[in-house]
Structure 1
């Protein structure tokens, strides 16, 4: 402690201000952590009583930010969640605000273990739980019954939107069992190097949507001269035989106006057939749950993420599937996941993706520690290590059964990982392409992403944001910090909401008709 800091502490100790117990103003997540997370804004001079004694804050500490509970020497690792979240860039005195001004990246090599921390999940629900889904001819179950207009190239995007626009508002009132007509447009499809990673990724993503069980009907629309032609998307596709699949190209059909008329006619023919379909009981083991977070804050790893992890474990215990993603937001916590891998091969496949991302970021002139956004930092997160340790809480305690490439069809049950960017629309697009039929999306700053044809359940990490954006959030997980609900109680609420939404209950993003423009396939590679 510097002389000025000592002088400040003496002044504050004699000012007569009340002492606040740490538990009333901050959360200490592990007894050996160096920081606690504040649950309210603390002003300079606040006196905080900890197990080790009394602290006097030399400066303000915003709500959701980190408060040092012990001295941390410069260059030493600083711990939260029982793990290093960075190195102190200067001496950090107990009581100080810990953030970007005094905490930097910890690039120390991590020790990797494989299959050393596998979990035994609770027994399956008794009696066995079911949801009301749409059974497809190939045995899969959808949670929605959409018609899609899927574009092979950006050149057909406007036409696809014109077609879908004809079925908004009251146009579908006579067909209550059809959830909507959604145009899935993107910025690519031509100028790609055939067979390249970029081209293959786009095709895999489009094909994943084309065979998604939440689509009962599909119009695949192209221009006619693109490098990703319509036929390449439908040939050999594992589309259920009861999915009504039609194709159009603008050039062959006679231009935009003729194509829009033709597309509208095709969908009008589909509507009565799809409307005649009904939901039937299905085991919840048929639910594929996507796990994603966006606009994270200092509470994400304390409330919504672990509560979602608890719900995910319940689903996995009942034979269901959960997809964790966002590889840049696993970096720094990957050693925890390799311990949970069912085999060394699965663990090493995850590490291969981490290494790929390190090289990818370096080639672009950055590093993975560039990941926390300005909003993340304003919310209390400092390094990617801290963000990742909170993010992986979405995965609960289940074993890691498989690792997939972006938009690759998910076939393994249990908890799996998909390699995606951390950018929310791109990440969720890959998860849905892989087969997710419900998505749970945690947010602390207030992300409003939808992801048609899959419903997105929004989980708020803190009460203040939930109340401010109540019309955009489904569940307030901030009650865990408020002390009005326990983590398992909120986790059970999320689990029940997943089943209800899978059975047709609408989420707030669906009520707002969100999710069409958030279809954003991952683009990279040479464009000619």
Structure 2
């Protein structure tokens, strides 16, 4: 780390707080702000850069993140104990700040080694999936998948694996309506995903999510690379496992024919996630990922911003640059749904962040949202999708999801994301299949501590050793490598087989 740098970071000339690069003891002079710290300040936390009167807005990145609960002298440690969450008046400016993307000419676009499917879609991985319409088939699915270990797949080097997709829904729930539609849309999205070479769909036989109804609902037809298995009809668990193993063996030769070839980066679709955020996430990893996404979008690719409850308070920055007013209003409608759904509940959209986020320096959801929205850079917002809907629009889009990472990423992958980029400041062990996860650390100490789980160290921005723009270039180059088949840290450790979590919205019967 460059130790000659100011221990605090000023993010905008109009801010009335600055952010600590490291732990700073009380009594430390801050010449750039002409003040002395009045308290010990944890790394990633804020201090008042000038006198802030009670009730005055607290400004970070020249954006309101709350209101002072008391008169605060310069040098005061600023956090949830003296920053109140309040109502904001937001000017949505639907589409008024839209600026068209300056695309890289087709012949000059970056390329990666992708797998081109027969219908022209491009994959980054090549899996066979074992799916269940309800939790009753979980054991059979896991047993079938476990039969195809590295030794069993030795003769199929171009198949990345046989993986089970287990969930706890499909029975004991509403038989129709939004919850069932959402589950079916999620399962259908994974089955149709470019990274899924073949699929086996398993039913116990009495699920509310009936196998035949599910296939009809999703317009899926059984065939050489989409097979079905009814456990009861097969004669029970043992016979169903044996039958399932044979069905997968029938699909392996066709899956093995997949080969990589140079394709345009326009076929990369990134699902963006942040989890275990800290005070540095919005200063390094998130804006650096945003810079990388701006590059990807100029090359024709797609970036999916999600976690609706975690853009609350800054959604007007997205609606203002929406391609049309109608797209901006779609986003506001989803925010309104969440506010109504969480009315009176002790949840994040009502102000509180997780204990880890809070310890990392985030006072409330406004501050977290401010950093989280930076993952999309400054690209125009082209479309808004509901959870797990197929994403067909290129550029920056938004998908309505919860903030919980496994549920959110599951929706993005169901929508077509063939890579996930996951920023974190506190640390994460998240992984995903069939679309792998690239993890980006916001600070160097955490990256060093969890080096076997982190793919990119964006902490060099905080250390003063790289700019946001430079990190964006590095991240984009690494995305191309992982899209071409280079294993991510989570893939190398076998992480991702338990992170398939469809959104469990609705009534439990």
Q: Does structure 1 retain, via aligned residues, the 8 Å contact 2:222–2:228?
A: no
Q: Pick closer, same or farther for the CA change 1:297–1:397 going to 2, 3 Å.
A: same
Q: How far apart are the structure 1 equivalents of 2:481 and 2:214?
A: 33
| Alpha-carbon displacement from aligned partner over 1:348-393 (angstroms, at most 9, x marks no partner) | 1100110111111115454613451100011111111110010010
Q: How far apart are the structure 2 equivalents of 1:79 and 1:489?
A: 27
Q: How far apart are the structure 2 equivalents of 1:371 and 1:101?
A: 12
- From 497, 503, 512, the counterpart of 2:493: 512
Q: How far apart are the structure 1 equivalents of 2:322 and 2:465?
A: 35
Which secondary structure state, in structure 2, belongs to the residue aligned with residue 50 of structure 1?
helix
- From 231, 252, 259, the counterpart of 1:250: 231
Structure 2, gaps ≥5 residues long? none
What residue number does 1:11 align with? none
What residue number does 1:394 align with? 375
Which secondary structure state, in structure 1, belongs to the residue aligned with residue 297 of structure 2?
helix
Work out whether 1:214 is the aligned partner of 2:195.
yes
Q: How far apart are the structure 1 equivalents of 2:453 and 2:361?
A: 22
> How far apart are residue 235 of structure 1 and its match?
2.8
What residue number does 1:445 align with? 426
What residue number does 1:26 align with? 8
What residue number does 1:100 align with? 80
Q: How far apart are the structure 2 equivalents of 1:404 and 1:388?
A: 19
Q: Pick closer, same or farther for the CA change 1:470–1:375 going to 2, 3 Å.
A: same
- From 35, 44, 59, the counterpart of 2:39: 59
Q: Does structure 2 retain, via aligned residues, the 8 Å contact 1:118–1:399?
A: yes
What residue number does 1:71 align with? 51
| Alpha-carbon displacement from aligned partner over 1:42-61 (angstroms, at most 9, x marks no partner) | 1111121134x2x1222100
Q: How far apart are the structure 2 equivalents of 1:182 and 1:496?
A: 28
What does residue range 391-430 of structure 1 map to in structure 2 within 5 Å? 391-430=372-411
Q: How far apart are the structure 1 equivalents of 2:351 and 2:152?
A: 46
| Alpha-carbon displacement from aligned partner over 1:235-281 (angstroms, at most 9, x marks no partner) | 36466999711000111111111111111111122222211221122
> How far apart are residue 288 of structure 1 and its match?
1.0
- From 347, 353, 358, the counterpart of 1:377: 358
Q: Does structure 1 retain, via aligned residues, the 8 Å contact 2:185–2:218?
A: no
- From 117, 120, 140, the counterpart of 1:159: 140
What does residue range 271-350 of structure 1 map to in structure 2 within 5 Å? 271-350=252-331
Work out whether 1:476 is the aligned partner of 2:476.
no
Q: How far apart are the structure 1 equivalents of 2:140 and 2:437?
A: 26
Which secondary structure state, in structure 2, belongs to the residue aligned with residue 342 of structure 1?
coil
Q: Does structure 1 retain, via aligned residues, the 8 Å contact 2:186–2:414?
A: yes
Q: How far apart are the structure 1 equivalents of 2:138 and 2:216?
A: 21
Q: Does structure 2 retain, via aligned residues, the 8 Å contact 1:329–1:384?
A: yes
> How far apart are residue 127 of structure 1 and its match?
2.3
> How far apart are residue 149 of structure 1 and its match?
0.2
Work out whether 1:35 is the aligned partner of 2:17.
yes
Q: How far apart are the structure 2 equivalents of 1:483 and 1:189?
A: 51
Q: Does structure 1 retain, via aligned residues, the 8 Å contact 2:54–2:67?
A: yes
What residue number does 2:92 align with? 112
Q: Does structure 1 retain, via aligned residues, the 8 Å contact 2:290–2:374?
A: yes
What residue number does 2:163 align with? 182
Q: Does structure 2 retain, via aligned residues, the 8 Å contact 1:134–1:278?
A: yes
Q: Does structure 2 retain, via aligned residues, the 8 Å contact 1:328–1:371?
A: no
Superposed CA RMSD: 1.7
Which secondary structure state, in structure 1, belongs to the residue aligned with residue 87 of structure 2?
coil
Q: Does structure 1 retain, via aligned residues, the 8 Å contact 2:88–2:313?
A: no
Q: How far apart are the structure 1 equivalents of 2:284 and 2:464?
A: 11
TM-score by length of 2: 0.96
Q: Does structure 2 retain, via aligned residues, the 8 Å contact 1:164–1:182?
A: yes
Q: Pick closer, same or farther for the CA change 1:240–1:288 going to 2, 3 Å.
A: farther
Structure 1, gaps ≥5 residues long? 1-19
Q: Does structure 2 retain, via aligned residues, the 8 Å contact 1:148–1:184?
A: yes
- From 329, 332, 336, the counterpart of 1:355: 336
What residue number does 1:3 align with? none
What residue number does 1:8 align with? none
> How far apart are residue 489 of structure 1 and its match?
1.3
Q: Does structure 2 retain, via aligned residues, the 8 Å contact 1:285–1:318?
A: yes
Q: Pick closer, same or farther for the CA change 1:454–1:385 going to 2, 3 Å.
A: same
Q: Pick closer, same or farther for the CA change 1:248–1:242 going to 2, 3 Å.
A: closer
TM-score by length of 1: 0.93
What residue number does 1:90 align with? 70
